[in-house]
Amino acid sequence: MTINKVSIKAPAKINLSLDALRKREDGFHEVAMVMTTVDLADRIELTLLEADEIKIESSGGFVPLDERNLAFQAALLLKKTFNIKKGVYIHISKHIPVAAGLAGGSSDAAATLKGLNELWGLELSLDELAELGAKIGSDVSFCVYGGTALATGRGEKIHHISSPPPCWVLLAKPPIGVSTGEVYRNLRLQGIKHPDVEGMVKAIEEKDYDKICSLLGNVLESVTLKMYPEVKHIKEQMMRLGADAVLMSGSGPTVFGLFQHESRLQRVYNGLRGFCHEVYAVRLLGE
């Protein structure tokens, strides 16, 4: 049976721990990150086109609608690698904030790779898709698998770990977009406080919620919080209002808080809405 249409979820990720170890010769940093998925997601709909072309549209967010779009790049990469003569119409329903530190673009690319694998009948394994994904961006490999993982190298080497204990996550995004490249370019590693990534992996494996909260850490805060004081302000407010723990995700500017109790999540959500327009209450998917 030929499949003509595929609809696939592209969830956002947060970093529970993010460390940069050194700058490499290729310009990237060697990183160690603990990443996990949350249930805030874009939806990617792929429709088979008999013509040899890639069409892309999006609703609900401002993203480029040409080869700069990471979902478009994913389709182009598969086409070129496997000499595909069919086409695809990609429709993105955008719900993940753009340039926010939540890997929205990477997740759209990963979902497109997975969806086209079905639509074009390529029969590639997840490992093969993740390897291809790394050519598009460092976070795409993780997004192909989802779940929870330790990511090393420039972020493309994925080591699966068990899921954290269930909890709530509050995401708050100030109205600014942050360029990941710029943040890494401004990162100074000398004298910086490194998060305990190994400890975080252990705390997750042991499902120790309090330990997870106490070990949250992100070296990129040293850059983004200085560049954008509003990110620091949201962190302080979220903590003051009663989050169990708070951290910036990726290169920012999104800040997330963890909660074990829904009633407290609700209270902090209401408190934050006063001065931050974009706030999302979601669950950790983790697996």
Known binding-site residues equal 97-107
Scan residues 67-106 and list those touching ligand ATP (CB under 6 A): 68-71, 92, 98-106
> Could you give the CA distance from residue 146 to residue 285 in angstroms, rounded to a whole number?
9
Contact 286, 148 (CB under 8 A): yes
Peptide bond into 166 cis (omega under 30): no
Geometric angle at alpha carbon 285, from 278 and 62, rounded to 5°:
35
Scan residues 225-284 and list those touching ligand ATP (CB under 6 A): 250-251
Annotated binding site for ATP, which residues? 97-107
Neighbours of 23 (CB within 10 A): 14
Return the residue of 64, 175, 181, 229 that touches ligand ATP, per CB under 6 A: 64
Q: Is 23 a catalytic residue?
A: no
> Could you give the CA distance from residue 99 to residue 254 in angstroms, rounded to a whole number?
9
> Could you give the CA distance from residue 170 to residue 270 in angstroms, rounded to a whole number?
11
Tell me which of 19, 42, 108, 139 is the catalytic residue.
139
Cβ-based nearer residue to ligand ATP, 169 or 241: 169
Scan residues 10-29 and list those touching ligand ATP (CB under 6 A): none
The size of the interface with ligand ATP (CB under 6 A), counted in residues, is 21
Tell me which of 13, 79, 114, 173 is the catalytic residue.
13
> How many C-alpha atoms does 229 have within 13 Å on its Cβ side?
0
What tokens appear for 222 in the block? 């040293």
171 binds ligand ATP (CB under 6 A): no
Q: Which residue is nearest to ligand ATP (CB)?
A: 105
Q: Is 139 a catalytic residue?
A: yes
Name the site residues for ligand ATP (rule: CB under 6 A).
63-64, 68-71, 92, 98-106, 108, 139, 180, 250-251
Positions annotated as catalytic residues are: 13, 139
